[in-house]
Amino acid sequence: MVSELFKGLREEELDIEPTICARCGFCTFVCPAYLDTLWDSQSPRGKLFQLKDLITKNKAIPADFAERIFKCTLCGACEEICQVNIPLLRFWQLARGEIATLGEWPEIINFIDNAIQNSQNIMDIDQDDRLIWTDMVDDLVEGRVQKQAEVAYFAGCNISYKGTLAHMGENTVKLFSHLGIDFTLLGENEFCCGNPYFVAGDFESGTKLADHNLSELKRLGVKTVVFNCPGCHRAFSHEYPHLLGKEAIEGLEFLSFSQFVLRMIKEGKLSFTNQYPHVVTWHDPCELGRHQDIYEPAREVLRAIPGLELREMKHNRNRARCCGGGGILKGTNPVMSVRVSGRRIEMAEATGAEIMASECPSCTMSFNDGMEGRETSIVFKDLSQIVVEALDIE
């Protein structure tokens, strides 16, 4: 019989992973939380060592240790560099699930849980306002809400409800219109993708959201879903089939914004003719890069823009450093989050680029927060901004 303690880890046979850890320490020097505190107890190696003792003795995770497990961006850098191939991302998710069963979730996650249960979004705002982000492009979305179409745009909670991120959705709709794409929006039937639950280790609560969103897309005859948010994209691409089976996503493909733009370029439907004389450095979002191995589409799009010079940061692709916004760290420890983003901004500044770019709402928020009050000549732009500016779309 499976013990109720560490049940998730035991069921997936991951409870032995702490005993596999070689204690080499490579993970410590890529971990944002360790680099912020320089405490080995905050490093992946340190936490594995402590969990080994708790699992072996079948003892519950104490509150102070639970707090340390949530001081983590789930960036996946530790798994990427692990010398003994421990699936650390999944391990940390299940460890957080253990914390949930003990009633030790951070308060911000309890708030998000209640918000989703009440209103199907992380802000606890009425679903009738789900399309508030379209106010500046209402003429382009008229008649497209819950319309039968093969292409759908899934905005996600952050873009839908945070005004400072609305431009990402607006730019995507502008691009669709520019290309003559027939598309649909789920509107108030778009529920949270469930990613907040997945990063908190509560897979069961995310299942109903997954089932609803997939059912709505299929009802509208959708075949391709485009996302600005890597968290939403990862939820659909990886978590949904894990929860519901691969057959649940048959007939659907999920594209990040960069993947969609690159497809349009390769199919000859989109070309850049205007000069865009700027030096850009690219930041790989963790949930798009290390989590899904999607690195090149954005770079290919940027290289297709005349006049644009792309300069890589020292740490890029699978070695990219985190923005500090993942794993709900911005909610559980906003001060640490800003310090983490500040270190990544320094790496961008070192390239001499004018623009630091990415394609992620969390990265956008993190870097804008990190740049606030900072004397810097670099500015942050989402990829959708660069694409629309380069095409000179109003």
Q: What would the mean pLDDT of 185-212 be, rounded to a whole number?
A: 97
Q: In the predicted model, is pLDDT for residue 1 greater than 50?
A: no
pLDDT value, residue 341: 97
Longest Cα–Cα distance in the chain: 66
* pLDDT at 160 (0 to 100): 98
Q: How far apart are CA 194 and CA 213, in angstroms?
A: 10
- Tell me what percent of the residues of the chain surpass a pLDDT of 70: 99
* pLDDT surpasses 80 at 3: no
- Residue 379: domain span: 271-391
Asked if 99 and 61 touch (Cβ cutoff 8 Å), the reply is: yes
244 and 281, same structural domain? no
pLDDT on residue 4:
84
CATH code for position 228: 3.40.50.1860
Q: How many domains does the chain have?
A: 3
Mean pLDDT throughout 365-385? 95
Find the CATH number of the domain harbouring 61. Answer: 1.10.1060.10
**DSSP string computed for 208-262:** HHHHHHHHHHHHTT--EEEES-HHHHHIIIIIHHHHH-GGGGTT-EEEEHHHHHH
Q: pLDDT tens across 319-364, in order?
A: 999 999 999 999 999 999 999 999 999 999 999 999 999 999 999 9
User: Does 108 fall in a domain?
Assistant: no
Q: What is the C-alpha to C-alpha distance for residues 274 and 388, in angstroms, rounded to an integer?
A: 11
Kindly state whether residues 286 and 315 are assigned to the same domain: yes
| Residue ending a domain, choose from 208, 233, 264 | 264
Q: Is residue 154 part of a domain?
A: yes
Instruction: Return the closest-CA partner of residue 311 out of 299, 294, 297.
Output: 299
Residues 278 and 307 in one domain: yes
Instruction: Note the pLDDT tens digit of each residue in 88-108.
Output: 999 999 999 999 999 999 999
Burial of residue 372 (number of CB atoms within 10 Å: 0-12, 13-18, 19+): exposed
pLDDT at residue 273 in the model? 96
Q: Is the pLDDT of residue 2 over 70?
A: no
- 21-32: pLDDT as tens digits: 999 999 999 999
Query: Does residue 195 surpass a pLDDT of 70?
Result: yes
Angle at alpha carbon of residue 238, lines to 210 and 6, rounded to 5° = 85
- Shared domain check, 55 and 146: no
Token pair listed for 233: 């994209």
pLDDT at 301: 98
State the Cα–Cα distance between residues 325 and 164, nearest whole angstrom: 16
Tell whether 141 and 185 lie within a shared domain. Answer: yes
Question: What is the chain's mean pLDDT, rounded?
Answer: 96
Same domain? 245 vs 275: no
Do 238 and 372 lie in one domain? The reply is no
User: Which domain-ending residue is among 72, 101, 130?
Assistant: 101
Band of residue 373 on the pLDDT scale cut at 50, 70, 90 = confident
Q: How confident is the model at residue 394 (pLDDT cuts 50, 70, 90)?
A: confident
For the beta sheet containing 279-282, the strands, ordered from the edge strand earlier in sequence to the opposite edge, are 309-311, 279-282, 355-358, 379-382
Closest CA to 333 of 115, 37, 61, 91: 37
pLDDT digits (tens, 9 = 90+) for 137-183: 999 999 999 999 999 999 999 999 999 999 999 999 999 999 999 99
Residue 107 lies in a domain: no
- Whichever domain contains 314, its CATH number is 3.40.50.11810
**Tokens representing residue 379 in the block:** 């500015």
- Name residues whose C-beta falls within 8 Å of residue 92's C-beta, 6 or more positions apart in sequence: 69, 72, 74
Render pLDDT for 110-125 as a digit per residue (tens, 0 to 9).
999 999 999 999 999 9
Of 245, 264, 283, the domain-final residue: 264
Asked if residue 44 has pLDDT above 80, the reply is yes
Asked if residue 289 and residue 252 are part of one domain, the reply reads no
- Whether 95 and 128 share a structural domain: no
User: Is 70 exceeded by the pLDDT of residue 230?
Assistant: yes
Burial readout 20-57 (b: 16 or more C-beta within 10 A, e: otherwise): ebeeeebbbebbbbbbbbeeeebbbbbbbebbbebbee
Range 242-264 average pLDDT? 97
Q: Is residue 112 part of a domain?
A: no
Q: Residue 46 falls within a domain, yes or no?
A: yes
